[in-house]
Amino acid sequence: MADLPRILVVDDSRMVRMTLIKHLKGNYEVREEADGESAWQTLVLDQSLRAVISDLQMPKLDGYGLLEKLRNSKLRRLQTIPFILVSGEETEEEREKARALGVSDFVTKGVGSSEILARLNTLLALSNAQENLAAGREGMVQDPASGLFSRKYLELQAAQALSHGARYGLEVSIMVLGFDDFEEVTVKLGRDLADQVSARFGKMLAGKVRQEDSLGHYGAGQYAIIAPGTSPILCAAFAERVREAVEVAHVAVQGRQISLTVSIGVASIPGDMATSAIGLLELAGDRMQQAMRFGGNQIVSGATSAPPVRQMKLQHALEMITARREDAVVPHIEALGIQVLPLLRLMNQEMGLELPLAEIERRLQDRAANKK
């Protein structure tokens, strides 16, 4: 029995659960729960469960809610676990809702053992194949979908860069970039479209890095760049250019404009106290997460407790307004206004506009003083 695949059956009817268990007995080891919330807790804790057979109508959390929580989970195994919905009198609209949430298959109440086993066997065979493919990708030099380096290979590249830097007294910097709220973007667009947007960003980065740099995947919606011979100052400057480019980018997905920002962490040797290449890579990743906690659209470089106050350049402010991101410009409006005062004075003089320049200047200075 210990070698049999383990399945979770979820139904508030004990009779239905016992009927399903009878069908599965001898081929699967079965665990049962009476409601969706208990099933969710069980699936989070029990890593041995390979598939779910669930009713739709249940107390506390119904089948839709359970399926949605699984597909939006941070745990990869729950995102992909086969989920069979026990169908009764559901309408086609209700079935379509389950498909949109990511249901794997349906079985009709009262169906025989042979059909249930056939559905489960097919789904588990597909799941095993996908797991083997994912495991194989981890050992690859390049990700087959994007063509970028894999996380494992990036670690090797970082180790090589640190070894070379130590031998010749060169600096090495690592930058880790990640989309802010990537999980929300995935929920809004769906996994396939979110991955496409991420892949487009990866290709953009690939066109910006030097030949001696190594660019690869760090996590979902996250990338890392190993930059040998680069100081943290230069690396942070490049990070700022990337951050600004993403902030003003016009990203259209199926006719919809999507606003995206990135958070970036920078770590370097010998400036940072990291004892290994993996440690330095993870330090940059931790700083990226720190930037996200500060509100996103930030860069954290060095052992700072908070990202530095960023002064927005006038050209970037105009690009942000063009991209309809005025909300990001407003916090900098006093400094920007003071910058354009000389231009306004010249326009006033040459065009006879009679602008209330003294009043404008006074209000800008008052607002700036109130922020201190």
Q: pLDDT, tens digit, for every residue of 276-309?
A: 889 999 999 999 999 999 989 999 987 444 445 4
Co-location of 107 and 170 in the same domain: no
pLDDT of 348 above 50: yes
177-181, 303-307, 334-338: which is most confident: 177-181
- Taking alpha carbons only, the member of 265, 278, 348, 270 closest to residue 304 is 265
Average pLDDT over residues 352-366: 86
Confidence band, pLDDT 50/70/90 cuts, at residue 81? very high
Q: pTM score > 0.85 for this model?
A: no
What 351-360 contacts at long range (C-beta under 8 Å, 24+ apart), as own/partner pairs, is none
78-92, 166-180, 183-197: which is most confident: 166-180
Question: Looking at residue 8, what is its pLDDT?
Answer: 95
Give the count of domains, the chain: 3
pLDDT of 118 above 90: no
Q: What is the CA radius of gyration of the chain?
A: 27
Whether 261 contacts 310, CB under 8 Å:
no
- Which domain, by its residues, includes 337? 327-371
Whether 300 contacts 291, CB under 8 Å:
yes
Whether 217 contacts 143, CB under 8 Å:
yes
Co-location of 232 and 162 in the same domain: yes
Residue 145 counted as domain residue: no
Q: What distance in Å separates the CA atoms of residue 92 and residue 73, rounded to the nearest whole number?
A: 26
- Both tokens assigned to 40: 């969710």
Half-sphere exposure for 145 (CA within 13 Å, toward CB): 14
Co-location of 15 and 61 in the same domain: yes
CA–centroid distance for 253 within its chain: 17
Question: Looking at residue 304, what is its pLDDT?
Answer: 46
Co-location of 38 and 93 in the same domain: yes
Whether 24 contacts 7, CB under 8 Å:
yes
Co-location of 130 and 236 in the same domain: no
Strand partners, 173: 227, 268
pLDDT of 33 above 80: yes
Q: Which has more pLDDT, 255 or 364?
A: 364
Residue 265 counted as domain residue: yes
Whether 262 contacts 152, CB under 8 Å:
no
Q: What percent of the chain has pLDDT over 90?
A: 29
Among candidate residues 109, 138, 167, the one where a domain is terminated: 138
Residue 116 counted as domain residue: yes
Co-location of 232 and 304 in the same domain: yes
Q: What distance in Å separates the CA atoms of residue 255 and residue 240, rounded to the nearest whole number?
A: 28
**pLDDT, the chain, mean:** 85
Co-location of 98 and 227 in the same domain: no
Residue 211 counted as domain residue: yes
Co-location of 68 and 117 in the same domain: yes
How many other C-beta atoms are found inside a 10 Å radius of the C-beta of residue 213?
Answer: 20
- Taking alpha carbons only, the member of 171, 189, 168 closest to residue 179 is 189
Question: Domain with 187 in it: what CATH number?
Answer: 3.30.70.270
How many other C-beta atoms are found inside a 10 Å radius of the C-beta of residue 196?
Answer: 13
End-to-end CA distance of the chain, in Å? 69
Question: Looking at residue 40, what is its pLDDT?
Answer: 95
Residue 131 counted as domain residue: yes
Co-location of 159 and 279 in the same domain: yes
Co-location of 158 and 300 in the same domain: yes
Question: Looking at residue 306, what is its pLDDT?
Answer: 44
The contacts of residue 51 (CB under 8 Å, 6+ apart) are 5, 7, 8, 81, 82, 83, 84, 120, 123, 124, 127
Co-location of 334 and 239 in the same domain: no
Q: Which residue has the tokens 């209700």?
A: 94
Among candidate residues 82, 111, 138, the one where a domain is terminated: 138
Residue 15 counted as domain residue: yes
Q: Which residue has the tokens 């970036």?
A: 264
The dihedral built from the CA positions of residue 8, 10, 13 and 16, taken in this order, carries a sign that is: negative
Q: Which has more pLDDT, 347 or 364?
A: 347
Question: Domain with 57 in it: what CATH number?
Answer: 3.40.50.2300
- Both tokens assigned to 20: 């399903």
Among candidate residues 103, 138, 173, the one where a domain is terminated: 138
Residue 179 counted as domain residue: yes
Which stretch of 79-83, 196-200, 299-303 has the lowest confidence by average pLDDT? 299-303
1-21 pLDDT, tens per residue?
457 899 999 999 999 889 888
Residue 356 counted as domain residue: yes
Q: At what angle do helices 36-45 and 63-71 cross, to 10 degrees?
A: 30
Question: Looking at residue 136, what is its pLDDT?
Answer: 54
Which stretch of 159-163, 166-170, 253-257 has the lowest confidence by average pLDDT? 253-257
pLDDT of 26 above 90: no
Co-location of 105 and 191 in the same domain: no
Q: Which has more pLDDT, 271 or 264?
A: 264
Average pLDDT over residues 59-76: 90
